[in-house]
Homo-oligomer: A and B are copies of this chain.
């Protein structure tokens, strides 16, 4: 952390800041130039609040040099985290994991048909929403626990692992047989939920918030890791920008960035990013060659009668064609 004082800061103000640091047992180095004085704090300053430092009298600016996340950082763990699901499937490192399925579970027939089909095309995990976070209180809110039960049936029948969104810690009891707990973008900074997921022994798929920075996503992962749960999967799903031609803007650079800064697996969600099925193929391919460890894709057997997100769902046939291309692209990438 670097503290820059105002040109007008008095000697007493600077001394008061130094005393404050000494009291907090923080080492620092002073640099005086013509126009200002700097204090450079040495060692671990992650327990010092920037806000408080900023409030010291005479301070012009405070900059953080060190990352504020630790357990999520590659600095502290240089090897890729590899997570193994109960059915033996792995994610992270060289493993590539494809999760596919409908936005919402709607009926046994629907989920079974889709599950069998995506499995055949090469998916490893079945996705399906049971508790749905919807902008409008008048929209379909999901089948709830009944939806989870249908997912479990599909899991038993196909051997696919299952992933579904949890919206509140109190729902944890219903997710016993769910293999991966998904935290939605709107809950990325629901810290009460993150704290509870830190105590669970299950992989958590943490989606990046619509306007969350890389640093904030990694800090939210840190909440889960700090609680003791080391199985966190990061997910880029599009951010909110000024562009309205697409629903969100897939931040493709997030993939190499997060993989450089963190050892956690990083996947992409091309379906939510653009909001239209025609972009799912190009964005899936782009994410794959950018180094993603996997994809989560919305597939629906009858998009125009889907109860949610029909516009961004691809059909089982489109998914099958896409998977064939992904396999070829992975080969090019791994050949290097």
**Number of identical protomers:** 4
Q: Which of B216, B244, B250, B305 has a CB less than 8 Å from the CB of A52?
A: B305
A36 to B46, CA, bound (A): 15
Q: Is A15 an interface residue (CB 8 A)?
A: no
Stretch at the interface among A145-153, A156-164, A277-285: A277-285
Cα A282 to Cα B213 with chains together (Å): 20
Q: Which residues from B are CB-within-8-Å of A133? A: 189, 191
- Contact residue among B139, B289, B307 (Cβ-Cβ distance under 8 Å from A289): B289
Q: In whole angstroms, how far apart are the Cα atoms of A242 and B239 in the complex?
A: 9
Instruction: Specify which of B168, B195, B256 is in contact with A278 (CB 8 Å cutoff).
Output: B256
CB distance from A274 to the nearest CB of B (A): 5
Distance from A78 Cβ to chain B, minimum over Cβ atoms (Å): 9
Q: Could you list 28 examples of A-B contacts with CB < 8 Å?
A: A2-B63, A29-B29, A29-B31, A46-B136, A50-B311, A54-B276, A55-B303, A57-B304, A63-B65, A68-B136, A69-B136, A136-B219, A168-B190, A168-B193, A186-B189, A190-B190, A213-B244, A213-B245, A214-B243, A241-B251, A250-B251, A252-B286, A253-B273, A256-B279, A282-B290, A286-B287, A289-B289, A332-B332
> A interface vs B, CB < 8 Å?
2, 4, 7, 20, 29, 31, 33-36, 38, 40, 42-43, 46-47, 49-52, 54-57, 61, 63, 65-66, 68-69, 75, 133-140, 167-170, 186-187, 189-193, 195, 210-211, 213-216, 219, 222-223, 226-227, 239-246, 249-253, 255-257, 260, 273-274, 276-279, 282-283, 285-291, 303-313, 325, 328-329, 332, 335-336
Known: A215-B245, A253-B273. 15 other contacts (CB 8 A): A2-B65, A38-B40, A49-B307, A50-B311, A52-B307, A52-B310, A168-B190, A240-B242, A241-B249, A249-B251, A250-B251, A253-B279, A282-B290, A285-B290, A286-B290
